[in-house]
């Protein structure tokens, strides 16, 4: 079982797949990457796209029927990439359901930060979400300008209970060496819990998950790949993930690596 927890495989909802053919092409790419299950995460509330829960659920069913017709061994589960906004909890509480947790487990929520900064209310919101039983996963923190410059920001979020997901393309250097270097640094400080594709289009932004795991095996350590793969399965199942304590950026307070025993 190999799970991808962040992609835009559902057609006609955002800047990912535009038509059923795009979805089929992405699904074949996923299978070639060894992926058996995906949680589809269309954009929601990012200022451009609004994809309320009922629409995503309906589209997930349609896409699964399409894959079955074409005998593609991939199953899609519903989720969303929820852009950070102040009323997330109000909307989770509302009788009319517009927001989705990952695979509707009422546990994990994929959160997208703005790309250029981290709003002041972020820490409080991430904390309040956890008080209400939701576990935030920060999507591609390496693509946030402020975190890139000051990774300590992500360190605080993770220390306070949030999780984080790197994009496979960042890991293998498709977005340049700067993002690759920061990706490595975040992994080595035990600030990352998942690698995911964020696939949008088969030729422009495909799955690349296999290549990312191979890169991590070669350059950081196979134990991380096992840990990332396992965590993606646990999110799909709505179970507790493996989360080592983050390593400090301050050299004097250096703590032993979580995987130092291996």
Residues 195-214 within binding reach of Fe ion (CB under 5 A)? 198
CB nearer to Fe ion: pick between 43 and 155: 43
Least distance (Å) between residue 81 CB and Fe ion: 5
Least distance (Å) between residue 253 CB and Fe ion: 34
Q: Which residues pair with 137 in a beta bridge?
A: 110, 163
| Residues contacting Fe ion: total by CB under 5 A | 2
* x-marked contacts with Fe ion along 73-92 as a string, rule CB under 5 A: --------x-----------
> Phi and psi dihedrals of 26, rounded to 5?
-65, -40
Distance CA 225, CA 56 (A): 30
Neighbours of 75 (CB within 10 A): 16
CB nearer to Fe ion: pick between 140 and 189: 140
Distance CA 103, CA 107 (A): 9
Least distance (Å) between residue 6 CB and Fe ion: 6
Least distance (Å) between residue 162 CB and Fe ion: 17
Q: Which residues pair with 76 in a beta bridge?
A: 38
Judge contact between 79 and 110, C-beta under 8 A: yes
Give the residue closest to Fe ion by C-beta.
Answer: 198
CB nearer to Fe ion: pick between 37 and 143: 143
Find tokens 């546990």 and name the residue.
107
Contact status: 46 vs Fe ion (CB under 5 A): no
Least distance (Å) between residue 121 CB and Fe ion: 22
Least distance (Å) between residue 26 CB and Fe ion: 13
Least distance (Å) between residue 33 CB and Fe ion: 16
Q: Which residues pair with 163 in a beta bridge?
A: 137
* N-term to C-term CA, the chain: 24
Q: Where are the alpha helices (DSSP H) in the chain?
A: 20-32, 53-69, 88-93, 122-131, 145-149, 152-159, 168-171, 177-188, 209-219, 222-237
CB nearer to Fe ion: pick between 9 and 246: 9
CB nearer to Fe ion: pick between 9 and 234: 9
Residues 103-142 within binding reach of Fe ion (CB under 5 A)? none
Give the torsion sign (CA, 118, 192, 108, 16): positive
Residues 169-198 within binding reach of Fe ion (CB under 5 A)? 198
CB nearer to Fe ion: pick between 53 and 220: 53
Chain residues binding Fe ion by CB under 5 A are 81, 198
């Amino acid at each position: 079982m190999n799970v991808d927890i962040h992609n835009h495989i559902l057609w006609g909802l955002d800047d990912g797949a535009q038509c059923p053919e795009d979805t089929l092409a992405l699904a074949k790419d996923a299978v070639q990457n060894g992926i058996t299950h995906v949680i589809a995460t269309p954009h929601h509330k990012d200022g451009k796209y609004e994809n309320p829960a009922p629409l995503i659920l309906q589209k997930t069913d349609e896409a699964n029927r399409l894959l079955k017709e074409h005998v593609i061994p991939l199953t899609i589960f519903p989720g969303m990439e929820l852009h950070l906004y102040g009323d997330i909890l109000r909307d989770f509480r509302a009788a009319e359901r517009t927001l989705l947790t990952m695979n509707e487990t009422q546990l994990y929520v994929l959160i997208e930060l703005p790309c250029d900064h981290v709003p002041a209310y972020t820490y409080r919101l991430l904390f309040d979400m956890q008080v209400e039983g939701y576990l935030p996963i920060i999507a591609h923190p390496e693509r946030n300008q402020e975190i890139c410059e000051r990774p300590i920001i992500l360190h605080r979020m993770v220390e306070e209970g949030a999780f984080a997901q790197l994009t496979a393309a960042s890991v293998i250097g498709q977005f340049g060496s700067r993002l690759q270097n920061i990706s490595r640094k975040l992994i080595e400080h035990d600030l990352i819990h998942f690698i995911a594709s964020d696939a949008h289009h088969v030729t422009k932004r495909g799955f690349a998950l296999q290549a990312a795991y191979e890169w991590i095996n070669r350059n950081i350590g196979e134990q991380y790949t096992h840990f990332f793969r396992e965590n993606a399965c646990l999110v799909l199942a709505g179970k507790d993930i493996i989360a080592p304590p983050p390593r400090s950026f301050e050299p004097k307070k250096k703590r032993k690596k979580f995987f130092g025993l291996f």
